[in-house]
Structure 1
């Protein structure tokens, strides 16, 4: 794709004491990419996403978003997070707020959008995600699938340039996984740029523009889904896929 990448990661390293979690990670994300991070639990997928969202301090390397270095400790982290939306596997909705207030909080507090405008935009989004009739409820009145959809709406309400999704189906009952993945498929089809950690291999194969296999804190293999899933270059990738896919 021509033009600069939306996100560029160079030589990213993160350790907790003696335990290295991310080791010399390089990654680029172009506009409209849907990049799926796959790998065993503990391979570094979630930590990578948390580093990109500046929730974790990195030990070395450079992270650039829209051509600007955001790994500089002097950066305005709030301004960075205005350009990225992150959705966690545990939803992280504020339990004391209604769904509508959860969705409008960041647009009003961070972006200065008037309440009436924020609520109008939020209700339109909630309607798109099948949650129009849930706007006034608190999160504990929703199913897991509804809570995860509400978390997606909250992330999208700030109109981020990049959406980070961290194992967003991992905490869901199996029958609810499909409804959340359908939403993500629709987002991908509409051109939303996404970087997501997932254990849903069929979804990654169908939707991703690129798949990155992480092992031991490194991106061991990266390529189009057809190549990674059918002709992986690395033996470790083949072992992982055999175990996951059978």
Structure 2
């Protein structure tokens, strides 16, 4: 069974149809990377999967549960998904360790001791152990984004959504965040991510999905998409970006 099944999802804002019947599945331990120009629907798709935006039509299933069913508790569904956005969204008034453990304690019922122990192991393993008691404004952008990712994976979510997580970073900080995603892939996380980092997408993805105009135009392995794209729209897009 797929971890995620998106079936015929449509989303419209005023007169603009942003998602036009999207069908997509993500299997367990698979890394699927969404590519496409800004405005192609990548971020909106991720926001509908996390129920930040409600779909106008279609279904989204998480391990077989229809999370778009009106009877589904949205907060319960969201608690099964880890999300990291391009802006770190850390609480400025909380120390790093409290930012990481807050949801684990308040939403998932993890004890403070267990949450802190797990968080510290992750921080230490990523060279951030000495930052646990710092406030976010004492960290670089790359460090803040890694903290946001640690927060998202602390409770072993069924699915991890990453939305342009390097786009707000200075170029020299991008590598350290992408290294963490490589590690998550090695550890077997199930990931759906949108990125403009084409070389990274080629390296880390099991499958590339090219979106344009709110629909999926083409998908396949990195070699298929980057080396032998079949659709004219894909060829045109890739001709404009470095990959």
After TM superposition, the score normalised by the length of structure 2 is 0.98
- Secondary structure at 1:244 match in 2: coil
Instruction: Tell me the TM-score normalised to structure 1 length.
Output: 0.97
Structure 1: any 5+ residue segments left out of the alignment? none
Contact 1:129 1:153 in 2 (8 A): no
Residues 167 and 197 in structure 1, CA contact (< 8 A), matched pair in contact too? yes
Gap regions ≥5 residues in structure 2? none
> 3-state SS of the aligned residue for 1:245?
coil
Query: How far apart, in 2, do the equivalents of 1:88 and 1:102 lie?
Result: 15
Residue of structure 2 in register with 1:188 after alignment: 185
Tell whether 2:45 aligns with 1:68: no
Distance 1:161 1:87 in 2: 14
Q: CA deviation at 1:62?
A: 0.4
Output one character per residue of 1:8-61: Cα deviation in whole Å (capped at 9) or x when no partner: 000000010100100000000000110000000010000100100000011000
Find the residue that maps to 2:121 and give its secondary structure. Answer: helix
CA distance in 1, matches of 2:142, 2:107: 27
Residue in structure 2 matched with residue 154 of structure 1 by the alignment: 151
Deviations 1:70-109 (A, max 9, x none): 0112211121122110000001011111110011101110
Match of 2:9 in 1: 12
Partner of 2:165: 168
Structure 1 consecutive aligned stretches of length 4 or more whose deviation exceeds 3 Å: none
Q: 1:49 aligns with which of 46, 49, 59?
A: 46
Counterparts of residues 201-220 of structure 1 (less than 5 Å): 201-220=198-217
1:1-246 matches, cutoff 5 A: 4-245=1-242
Q: Distance in 2 between matches of 1:151 and 1:125?
A: 12
Task: Give the Å deviation of 1:129.
Answer: 2.1
Given that 1:144 and 1:176 are in contact with CA atoms closer than 8 Å, whether structure 2 keeps it comes out as: yes
Give 1:245 shift.
2.1
Distance in 2, Cα, partners of 1:125 & 1:78: 25
